[in-house]
A = this chain, B = another copy of it.
Amino acid sequence: MPKIVDHDKQRLLVAEAAWRVIRRDGMEQASVRNIALEAGISAGSMRHYFSTQSELLLYAMNLVSERVSNRITQMSFNSSPLENMKLLLLELLPSTDEKMAEMEVWYAFTAKSKSDPVLKEHANKVYNELRHAMATVITYLMELNLSRTDLDKELEIERLYALVDGLGIHAILRPDQMNTKIMEDILTMHLATLCRDAE
């Protein structure tokens, strides 16, 4: 079914063009017309791939979370528990150019989601998945008896989640001050303070 393959491929190309427009010119410029221009196809033929701008933007937003989630599914954890948890959290942070691009686009989409119910619904789904990942990290440390015995589980989950999101945002907003080395050092330190050796 080459036609369907081409269709899916073309939708992907359009979504990637949307990412480039958003990163370079801002969400304000992410009109169907500008995205068509960036993708090198006519504005008229855009309707074969997306019926509305809203559908296009949701697809482009979903592409970010799908890529992050695919990468995490493919991870193999062969190190110590603390190192494995650090690697998992680092995967959510913009530690490569590719992930930096994703994070920048994601940030623009979350800002827009405040006044766009369709994007908001997808954002909420992803927030829940991310919180679940944080809960997995904290629960794992507790179940292995690595963590301090006085941890407040729910608060630690929320603290870790806020820290990880804060680091990611600083990496895109303050790239001269926040880099992969510092993000990794902070995660290592943070996980260590949750554990018994830090008591």
- Which listed residue, B26, B115, B162, touches A166 by the CB 8 Å rule? B162
Give the size range of A's interface with the partner. Answer: 35 or more
Within the oligomer, what is the number of copies of this chain?
2
Q: Are B166 and A116 in contact (CB under 8 A)?
A: no
Q: Are A189 and B155 in contact (CB under 8 A)?
A: yes
Q: Are A114 and B155 in contact (CB under 8 A)?
A: no
Complex alpha-carbon distance, A193 and B163, angstroms: 15
| Across-interface contacts of A110 in B (CB, < 8 A) | 111, 173
The 8 A CB mask of A159-173 against B (1 = contact, 0 = none) is 101111111011011
The 8 A CB mask of A96-123 against B (1 = contact, 0 = none) is 0000000010011011111110000001
Q: With A27-B28, A111-B27, A131-B177 given, is the CB distance from A167 to B162 under 8 Å?
A: yes
Does A190 make an interface contact (CB < 8 A)? yes
| Across-interface contacts of A77 in B (CB, < 8 A) | none
Interface residues, chain A, CB within 8 Å of chain B?
Answer: 23-29, 104, 107-108, 110-116, 123-124, 127, 131, 152, 155, 158-159, 161-167, 169-170, 172-174, 177-178, 182, 185-186, 189-190, 193, 199
